[in-house]
Amino acid sequence: IAGITQAPTSQILAAGRRMTLRCTQDMRHNAMYWYRQDLGLGLRLIHYSNTAGTTGKGEVPDGYSVSRANTDDFPLTLASAVPSQTSVYFCASSAGGGADTQYFGPGTRLTVL
């Protein structure tokens, strides 16, 4: 089934540890995005990539890094996790980087203790 997959589904992590959230899409979409969703705040953009080989910062990029080595994969890395990074993380993709509809993965629930 075409779409976006994320791994892991959930994770409990000790503060200070490094963690990579994985995202893969098979729709050959050019643009990919990482959001975090916190209660009462809605979805906030962390990083994005308009095409393979390029990345950009969103609204809340501090403490996170991304890479886009190919079209399909867009991993999000927390170099040294902190409790404020406890959240639900959604990866999304769209055909182009404009106003094209974004399609979301199932999310990763991350708890940093």
Partner 1 sequence: GQNIDQPTEMTATEGAIVQINCTYQTSGFNGLFWYQQHAGEAPTFLSYNVLDGLEEKGRFSSFLSRSKGYSYLLLKELQMKDSASYLCAVVSNDYKLSFGAGTTVTVRA
Q: Looking at beta carbons only, is 2 or 14 nearer to partner 1?
A: 2
- Does residue 2 touch partner 1 according to CB under 8 A? no
Q: What is the DSSP string of 64-113?
A: EEE--SSSSB--EEESS--GGG-EEEEEEEESSSSSPPPEE---EEEEE-
Q: Looking at beta carbons only, is 80 or 100 nearer to partner 1?
A: 100
On whether the CB atoms of residues 61 and 49 are closer than 8 A, the answer is no
Q: Looking at beta carbons only, is 13 or 43 nearer to partner 1?
A: 43
- Does residue 34 touch partner 1 according to CB under 8 A? no
Which of 1, 2, 62, 101 lies at the binding interface for partner 1 (CB under 8 A)? 101
Cβ-proximal residues to 86 (8 Å cutoff; 6+ apart), any chain: 110, 111, 112
- Does residue 16 touch partner 1 according to CB under 8 A? no
User: What would the two tokens of residue 66 be?
Assistant: 């991304």
Residues that bind partner 1 (CB under 8 A): 40-45, 48, 58-59, 90, 97-99, 101-107
